[in-house]
Structure 1
Amino acid sequence: MHFDKSPKEKPCCTLPTVKKLLEEKRKRETSSVPPSCATASTSPVPPNSVTLSTSEPFTCTGASNNYSDMALSFEQWPSAAEPTLSYYSSHPGPSYTTGYSLPMISEYGTQQQLPGFRDTMAQPYECPMTVSDPSMNSSWSLLGPSEITQLSFGSSMDVAKLEEARMLLSGMDYNSAIEQDEDGDTILHIYTAKGLRECAFAAAERLRDIGSLDAKEHNGKTALLVAVTANQPDIVQDLLSLGADVNACDVNGQTALHLAAHYGFPGALQPILSYRAAVNLEARNFEGMTPLHCAAISHSVTMKALSASGLANGSLQAKAAEKLTCVQMLLREGASPLSQEIKSNKTVLHLAVKEGNINLVRYLLTIPLPNIKDFVNMKAHGHTALHMAAGLHGNPHQEEILRLLLSKGADPSIRNMENDQPAHLLQSGPQGEQLKLMLKKRSASSRRRNMSLQDQE
């Protein structure tokens, strides 16, 4: 929708577009020069055309449907930093053909000071996470209630600033306050993307009163989805408390849970999960994945980048810890590890094993399940996790992953649709022969145990 303004209504000074704000933020983040002061704004009225977002490259694909590469050599991870993809890329839409290439950092989150406010807005929420040991060899366990409490977003709203924001909103032109521009952005989208909590709350109240709290911009994002992508836990909580739809999805089928899991924002994830009765933990995006699948894939991407950096990158260690925490939180609240993504039937264990993500494999195998053997031996288009581990040629964790799976009841005798057992997919050479012997011994031991049980019956 367009704002049809006459020359008299056009403000002499307008807010910079969200796109410009985000571009400036990216420049500050990538520059070694200390960041300059944020662009000052002199009017709370949104510009005539504000672009909140264009097509977001959310390529959380799960896996290729073709498993013909199972026995191919494992490619060493390239020595490159974890990718940060521009939210305003030139691509016409999301790509789902390049494997697990995920944007690791949300481009939202620029903080601005609202004109007329006495103090600067609160600093962005920082979730207190424990950075893992550089060796990354410690095992992970489920978060306890005390750890979950630490993820809470306890900052209180400034009542005085909220009243000022309400006054500013009431003094605005009515259409500017409630309508959407040609990109579908409401003033609530704008304030949310900039992290202006009190302004966002005041705008949300007005939009709620006219039934437009879940208005979507041109990529289908509601203000709640923008708040999650901007990693604004307090605004997420505010919008939910005002009645925002917790299960709303964008044009790619991503719900707030998908986005929080994808970006690895445990702080934004917590208020969503607090709506346990309403939130759909098994919601599928248009690629057939649940939020748990997205969290697992995203964690694997960060672990690859961390491995390529020599495990010495503190920020990547912290991000890996946050993303694993998202996996833990989803499972703790009832997300099913048995869920299979629709395109390739992979479970979260298949996804972790196929990427050689030893930390996630270790953790997943500690989950207390009624029958862990069934979980370990589930098939994805005929392949068990053991088949996938056998195909990790060159991965330094291949042997450990095989042993972990075997210790939890993985069956080396199971054949895939090509009639191959895991041993048939191992690499050639001394190491492959050693691993093959290990699988054969375990298979023989399993047969003897089964025969013994049959005799007892």
Structure 2
Amino acid sequence: MASDGCSKDDLLEENRTDSGIESYRSIVKSEEPRDEFPAPRDKFSTAGEERLDSAYGSSSIVESLSEIVQSFTLSGAEAVQEQPQTCELSEQEDLLRTITEEGDTILHLAIIHEETSFAQELIQLFPKEVLDIQNNLYQSPLHLATYLNLTDVVRGLVKKGVSLELQDQDGNTALHVACQHGQTDCATEMTRDVSPGELVPVLETQNWRGLACLHLAALNRQHQVMKLLMKKEADLNIQEGTSGKTALHFAVELRDIALVKLLLSRGANVDAAMFNGCTPLHLAVGRQDAPIANLLCQSGADTMLRNMEDETALDLADGNDDILALFPFDDIQISGRSVVSVRY
């Protein structure tokens, strides 16, 4: 699972909504066709809703879903489709066409329960339009497969041409999810056969917090995912939508010197300004972080740039000798501004 320590159990505990999936057994055996499944017991959401029950993974659920899986094969479904249209729908066909009260298709449910072989058969059976159905939390099957790091399922969905641009209720695409949780293999599958130009709309998509994929990877210290995004020519200087920070700003705030070095080595703008005019050097000096401030200076950061408060990074040094040693002498000033600067 995620390299940031986000385990599947943690994800399930934090992102669960109530449901009634255990009645699947009665649905499968029922003689009357049903229009809807009861709501599935398991849901993944980034909204942080509390889990309301404890039935996920219980034996009754596993056995119920297993009955559905055992009663269905791809060849069997194809045989059903070949029957004359005048025939009444079989229970299998009804199951395939059913959407639960929470908007889940049978594919959503197969993925949630990690029935990967069954999910793969459904992926081959369903047209792209069905594979892109989003549930009530706006999660597509690709979102759920990514949450659970089901790389084979992600690969199957991508090969069928599912949309990478669908956003869930928090505005996250499936690639956002992979970047946040360090699902490098899933991210690789989503970007493997896509040209950098075709990826641009996905890489530039911001979630409802204004964060693009690169920002989420930086915020969660997902260095491997960052390298993948760089290989795919992601814009290293893209600004998040609320304050205008770039990935370099986030790396400086996190004191992640390894990420700072990585971004600078790949050409990130050392003088990128936030909406308030603050550069990464402003942030480093304001946090009294001499090692990162030194690294930025060595990479050519302009020490005389001013933010909207008319402050240079030097103004934020607050008497820190290690920080002050990084800045030039101000031998000649006009109206308080240096006109001649000599570096050590």
Structure 2 length-normalised TM: 0.74
CA 1:417–1:355: 2 relative to 1, 3 Å: same
Within 2, Cα distance between the matches of 1:166 and 1:289? 44
Within 2, Cα distance between the matches of 1:448 and 1:219? 58
Matched, 1:412 2:303: yes
159, 165, 169: which one aligns with 1:251: 169
Contact 1:166 1:199 in 2 (8 A): no
Match of 2:46 in 1: 56
> Larger C-alpha radius of gyration, 1 or 2?
2
CA 1:436–1:25: 2 relative to 1, 3 Å: closer
Within 2, Cα distance between the matches of 1:238 and 1:407? 46
Contact 1:44 1:115 in 2 (8 A): no
**Amino acid corresponding to residue 440 of structure 1 in structure 2:** P
Match of 1:263 in 2: 181
Match of 2:317 in 1: 426
1:131-157 per-residue CA deviation (whole Å, 9 max, x = no partner) reads xxxxxxxxxxxxxxxxxxxxxxxxxxx
1:447, distance to aligned residue in structure 2 (A)? 3.2
Q: How does 1:187-336 map to 2 (within 5 A)?
A: 187-208=106-127, 211-277=129-195, 278-279=198-199, 280-299=202-221, 323-336=222-235
CA 1:162–1:403: 2 relative to 1, 3 Å: farther
Within 1, Cα distance between the matches of 2:13 and 2:293? 42
Match of 2:327 in 1: 439
Deviates more, 1:434-443 or 1:215-224: 434-443
Give the secondary-structure state (helix, strand or coil) at the position aligned to 1:49: coil
CA 1:403–1:44: 2 relative to 1, 3 Å: farther
1:436, distance to aligned residue in structure 2 (A)? 1.4
**Amino acid corresponding to residue 378 of structure 1 in structure 2:** A
Deviates more, 1:276-285 or 1:418-427: 276-285
93, 98, 105: which one aligns with 1:179: 98
Identity of aligned residues (%): 25
1:168, distance to aligned residue in structure 2 (A)? 7.2
Matched, 1:403 2:291: no
* Unaligned stretches of 5+ residues in structure 1: 1-20, 28-38, 58-86, 92-106, 119-160, 300-322, 450-457
* Unaligned stretches of 5+ residues in structure 2: 1-7, 15-21, 29-35, 81-89, 332-337
Name the count of aligned residue pairs: 293
Contact 1:183 1:217 in 2 (8 A): yes
Within 1, Cα distance between the matches of 2:226 and 2:11? 32
Within 1, Cα distance between the matches of 2:139 and 2:256? 31
1:257, distance to aligned residue in structure 2 (A)? 1.2
Within 2, Cα distance between the matches of 1:24 and 1:286? 20
Higher helix share: 2
- CA-based RMSD: 3.7
Contact 1:352 1:360 in 2 (8 A): yes
1:79-114 per-residue CA deviation (whole Å, 9 max, x = no partner) reads xxxxxxxx54279xxxxxxxxxxxxxxx99xxx697
Give the secondary-structure state (helix, strand or coil) at the position aligned to 1:447: strand
234, 243, 255: which one aligns with 1:356: 255
Match of 1:167 in 2: 76
Contact 1:53 1:88 in 2 (8 A): no
Contact 2:39 2:102 in 1 (8 A): yes
Within 1, Cα distance between the matches of 2:71 and 2:300? 57
1:390, distance to aligned residue in structure 2 (A)? 0.7
Contact 2:74 2:125 in 1 (8 A): no
377, 380, 395: which one aligns with 2:271: 377
Within 2, Cα distance between the matches of 1:288 and 1:391? 24
**Amino acid corresponding to residue 235 of structure 1 in structure 2:** V
Give the secondary-structure state (helix, strand or coil) at the position aligned to 2:341: helix
Match of 2:240 in 1: 341
CA 1:350–1:24: 2 relative to 1, 3 Å: closer
Match of 1:89 in 2: 50
Within 2, Cα distance between the matches of 1:182 and 1:358? 48
Match of 1:126 in 2: none
CA 1:115–1:52: 2 relative to 1, 3 Å: closer
Deviates more, 1:193-202 or 1:226-235: 193-202
CA 1:407–1:174: 2 relative to 1, 3 Å: same
1:445, distance to aligned residue in structure 2 (A)? 12
**Amino acid corresponding to residue 40 of structure 2 in structure 1:** V
1:43, distance to aligned residue in structure 2 (A)? 8.9
Structure 1 length-normalised TM: 0.57
Contact 1:376 1:409 in 2 (8 A): yes
Within 1, Cα distance between the matches of 2:45 and 2:12? 19
1:235-254 per-residue CA deviation (whole Å, 9 max, x = no partner) reads 00101112211221112221
Contact 2:43 2:112 in 1 (8 A): no
Match of 2:285 in 1: 390
1:392-436 per-residue CA deviation (whole Å, 9 max, x = no partner) reads 14xxxx1110111001100111111111111211244xxx13311
